Chain A
């Protein structure tokens, strides 16, 4: 079996692949970065995405894809090291700072990102966005959660259920 791509490519030049968003924008990116996506990694290992072909991503628009790639490019070196055992504390702190800043964005963008991460199987990104949304839930009442996350107004039935829960489980609301 052939050795897996090291990410450095041949002759020192990094191998590049082209990704095509749902609105037909072409993104050229290092194979190592795109390979953070489990889905893309298989295609790339098969030799896809090079030259003029490009890999079409019909479920990801260009705004979301550029954000996804920003994450992948930043995380690719650490991922190539097999996680971060060799990374210095400074590198790790820098990644953490990047991550915190990265998800400090509009909620609708978070949802597009998590969908893209889910479809492209980018575990780190999915988990980062899920954590961000989970932290928005923390400490809020059910009604506040609904408002914060953009649910429509509750039906009388849903409202009654929330009230009953609050009465029955005082400890969770004190």
Chain B
């Protein structure tokens, strides 16, 4: 036994405990919110938490560290009827809401927050923003048009909840690209660009990001991709590109599925076999686009699919998967390695068929539909339209949890899943250099 141990055997209060013992206690604080409060309990606690070793090694992080599902951004909407009885969706006026995921190690279930609880917005610019996409701490929002501005002008901003800062994007004349809610979106981080050098934000931007938008433009009914990067090496202007051979979409996920430097969406296109499912691939670093036809018959066991139920999601090892949630079952197909390495012979296998009742513990619910997918946390938000109850399906642990704090007015819009790495969040907010 070491002789250097002080005679603290009779420690009567926590202040008398040595640093490493207090660090052991803090490492076991069960949820991120409580730990975040600990940093102002006293100077010593702040110093102990702000240690990068402590933050990286802590085992009590949600999902054991890495990116975890923190919650969902939703814009409450309701159906409104005009004089002739036609219905349309309109925001309820409550503004953007954040519904925490039912994760006891994160924010904890139940209590909704406002976006301004995470980022400062004294001027109220973000009050009626519409969530479009999120990835790794970044959140892409569409802002309402300015006074006298045409509805087709897309004003967007990217919020970085890890740093608490946000950047406005140059306005884009969208020509109907997304205003009817049919667009595809992606917000991408430096990590999504792979190993091709350092990315720095240009002057006037707080973080590096890239934004992709895709959909059918209303003036010529063609599919386009619009691309913007805050990279100091780029010109900070929107780039447009027409995507040939696609005619409608995206279907399923609005937010791109991202695998190994490529963003994917499902479209319908005109292939050699007539109209069929096409997957649009966009290279994140070059902006190069191509589409792959997926004939129905290559997805075994899928007869007369409902387009809106086909979702793309990357697997843990970065390969694209198809998800189809229908009739009490979640089916997952994965592409088998193609021997000649080209996309000509698609071979897909039905790799998993997960019954909702036995494996996901949702017996009796047959009509669940997918709302969104948390790529990094392998989760799916699914809604039961009959009861209005949403569930988070955890695909790794094969479990499900009902989401608390959900309102009926959320059901009219796709929710955007927000995933974040909590240790990065603490490092950013505590100013920790790694």
Contacts and interface: CB of A to CB of B under 8 A. Distances in A.
Interface of A: 22, 39, 57-61, 64, 107-108, 111-112, 114-116, 118-120, 126-127, 130-131, 133-135, 137-142, 145-146, 149-151, 158, 161-162, 165, 169-174
Contacts of A170: 113-114, 116-118
Contacts of B39: 165
Interface stretch (B22-30, B89-97, B322-330): B22-30
Given A22-B9, A61-B9, A169-B36, A134 B17 contact: no
Contacts of B38: 137, 142, 145
Contact of A127 (B15, B28, B37): B28
Contacts of A112: 9-11
Interface in B92-129: 98, 107, 111, 113-114, 116-118
B30 A138 contact: yes
Contact of B37 (A115, A151, A172): A172
6 contacts: A130-B25, A133-B25, A137-B29, A138-B30, A165-B39, A172-B37
A111 B1 contact: no
Given A146-B41, A151-B42, A172-B36, A64 B28 contact: no
Nearest to A143: B41
B73 to A, nearest CB: 13
Contact of A119 (B5, B34, B107, B429): B5
Contacts of B290: none
Nearest to A114: B21
Nearest to B164: A168
B32 to A, nearest CB: 9
A119 B39 CA distance: 26
Interface residues of B, number: 43
A21 B165 CA distance: 57
A140 B37 contact: yes
Contacts of A39: 1
Nearest to B28: A134
B40 A161 contact: yes
A151 B25 contact: no
Interface string B124-145: 0000000000000000000000
A57 B118 CA distance: 51
Given A130-B24, A139-B34, A150-B14, A165 B5 contact: no
B40 A162 contact: yes
Interface string B320-361: 000000000000000000000000000000000000000000
B79 interface: no
Nearest to A138: B34
B7 interface: yes
A59 to B, nearest CB: 4
A116 B12 contact: no
Contacts of B33: 171-172
Contacts of A118: 18, 20-21, 24
B51 interface: no
Contacts of A171: 33, 98, 107, 113, 117-118
